[in-house]
Amino acid sequence: MKEYLDVLRQILHEGVEKESGRANMPNTIGISKADIKMDLRKGFPLLTTKKMYWRGIVHELLWFLRGETNIKYLVDNNVNIWNSDAYRWYLKKCEELLYTKEVFYKNIDDFVNAIKRLDNSYYNDDNNIDDIQSFEEQRHLSDLISWNYYLGNLGKVYGYQWRNQNGVDQVKDVVDGLKNNPYSRYHIIDGWNKADFRDMALPPCHLLYQFIVTPMDSYEREDYYAKMHNFTQEQRDEMNPNATDDDVHKIMDEENIPKFHLDLNMYQRSCDTFLGVPFNIASMSLLLTIIAKVSNMSPRIANWIGGDTHLYVDHIDAVLEQTSRKPLELCQIKIDKDLNSLEDICSLTIDDFKLINYKSHDKIKAELFTGVKK
């Protein structure tokens, strides 16, 4: 991932310092555009210059794809990247409930522990709150439910927009569109819905995904088949030596080999380049892999485009450490499940993903800034 390290270096050399546009956030240094091109045929772009939280990447993406907007699933799977935003949204909802002088959960830890104690009955419409809470806590939760807020909600964030933007299931539209009209230029998932901003804990940072299809030629399809069966180069060279292009395509059709490459362009308006962007580029590449598999296409190029591409000044020492490290060979990703429909995607679990030969340098710790006062 030399391209990612080049973006870090560009910010360090060319970035301009400015105040954050959000309250309680450090200053940033940044540039107004960056891009990273990733060819998934050369390996899966999971950063190697620091150890990445792979399980968190997978769980968050599955959470998006299922249309979920409550952190209960993430918390139960020890993914805590949304905890602060959910707590900030909880404080806002308490204020709307007129809990202006005092809130029940006075810090994030108490808030998250309360979510862990809840079972799924709390999140159903029957208002059945688990008996393990005290009477006061149950009354507090009942007040929240009556206000149409459930503990851990984030409002109409990514998952809601992806699966129910103004009544449109955008993920379903993309899956159906790729199968029925692959060359369409409408294969887009858009999270930037200003009408719903007032109902979001945080407007989307990665906001626009466009999937683009191009045909595979006969040689590329043969290559795909050879790699799928782990052919040696000699075996590859001996494949269909006298066949015409039409003959090869017919043979590959019989073997159900993909006819198309699938590329993905993603635009991200606000880019926490040290902590967030490595997560984002791995997530978008995993999304491309999933959508390609369900569409019987070959995942190819993931293009990440950043708008306000910045580093928090508090992260600069960590960035200098990372840019001093040499990238290692990229890993591979395999999905151990047949995907033929949106329902198959929604039933994916962490165990369906196999990360092959992932090696990395050690972790580099840095604070995730969300605007929550300590």
Write out the catalytic residue numbers: 205
CA atoms of 313 and 55, how far apart (whole Å): 28
Residue 350: enclosing H or E segment and its boundaries? none
Cα dihedral value 226, 230, 232, 237, nearest 10: -10
Q: How far apart are CA 126 and CA 124, in angstroms?
A: 6
Q: What is the DSSP string of 212-268?
A: EEEE--HHHHHHHHHHHTT--HHHHHTSSTT--HHHHHHHHHHTT---EEEEEEEEE
| CA gap 368, 363 in Å, rounded | 14
Give the angle 297-299-302 at the CA atoms, nearest 5°. 140
Question: By CB neighbour count within 10 A (0-12 exposed, 13-18 middle, 19+ buried), where does 49 fall?
Answer: buried
Q: Which two tokens stand for residue 224?
A: 């795909």
